[in-house]
Structure 1
């Protein structure tokens, strides 16, 4: 029988206790690394912060007006006016956002007609108010889509081809755009009514 050239190293054979010790050590390193995270590299940032002026806070009137706080020119009788849709953006180029709101009476039955209104806030950040009516509820229209992009209000309106069409079943669809021009909202799109 020949003896191995290397002596028997019994401590090099792995046993379950070795795996438990290794797992415990790795878990400890991971836990410590999450607690003892190095600080972010702040040397350059500190110098930049000292040189740069403090950021200005946005003016209070830079948030769009909330249409829920507005009294709309809508006769609803015993029920309340409900803001169905809203979209915001700077419509007149003054740097302050306006809100366009689709509002109707909260009728328990039928399809109440919508009014589409532009809501703004005064320069001093006062209470929001209605400044324009884009769609009058008397026109018997319902707005299914509303958006404001690049100073343009876009809406998809459902309507009726005649007074004989029941309120439940609008049969005409219009895609309409309005833009602020010369102190008023002007429809950029001629009415291209489509039958539903």
Structure 2
């Protein structure tokens, strides 16, 4: 029985077909890199009836920051971060969860608050909320309503092996009287 559809001439690809396809694709990519739309702007026209919005500042980046963390031959690794205005000055700060980039085990986390002054090229650490010696593993970090919220795993005693945290808890820090005050946690929960 013969097919009702005649054999198509292009059912067998040859190297020339692949070369033509690659050339056409390269041409499209090259042309698209030349023909770009104008950058989008969110600026509103100003006039006598419009008010200019306050200038917002980007949150400090964690790259290039000298964290006060002793890591020996390995680097400090930013594991998590969150940003928001913590001191009410209208400029955001960044909260960074950092630990040593160890190839084995789970190194303890530290939590730092970063700020960046006008004209500065990198951010700087202005507060330490959690020290590595606390032996905590931060599982979540956020900034809400000017407060730093963290969830973490820890240990009920120094006898608990580092591999097996047995406590799950949370903490909240609020800027007050020119320092971060930690509020009393709701309670300790066993893991």
The answer to whether the superposition gives a TM-score over 0.5 is yes
2:94 paired residue among 83, 91, 99: 99
2:72 paired residue among 64, 72, 77: 77
Q: Describe how 1:138-177 pairs up with structure 2 within 5 A.
A: 138-177=133-172
Question: What is the rounded CA distance, in whole Å, between the counterparts of 1:49 and 1:132 in structure 2?
Answer: 40
Runs (5+) with no aligned partner, structure 1 = 1-47
CA distance 1:57–1:178, change in 2 (3 Å): closer
Q: Kindly indicate which of the two structures has a greater share of residues assigned to helix.
A: 1
Partner of 2:55: 58
Greater Cα offset, 139-148 or 181-190:
181-190
1:87 paired residue among 82, 91, 96: 82
Partner of 1:178: 173
Deviations 1:39-89 (A, max 9, x none): xxxxxxxxx865445856835xx1000012211000000100000000000
Secondary structure (helix, strand or coil) at the match of 1:153 reads: strand
Runs (5+) with no aligned partner, structure 2 = 1-44
Whether the 8 Å contact between 2:61 and 2:122 is mirrored in structure 1 is no
TM-score normalised by L of structure 2: 0.71
Question: What is the rounded CA distance, in whole Å, between the counterparts of 2:142 and 2:110 in structure 1?
Answer: 15
Largest Rg, 1 or 2: 1
RMSD: 2.0
Partner of 2:33: none
Question: What is the rounded CA distance, in whole Å, between the counterparts of 1:49 and 1:92 in structure 2?
Answer: 31
Number of residue equivalences:
147
- After superposing on structure 2, the runs of 4+ consecutive aligned residues of structure 1 that deviate more than 4 Å are 48-57, 123-126
Whether the 8 Å contact between 2:83 and 2:95 is mirrored in structure 1 is yes
CA distance 1:78–1:191, change in 2 (3 Å): farther
Does residue 133 in structure 1 map to residue 148 in structure 2? no
Partner of 1:33: none
Secondary structure (helix, strand or coil) at the match of 1:138 reads: helix
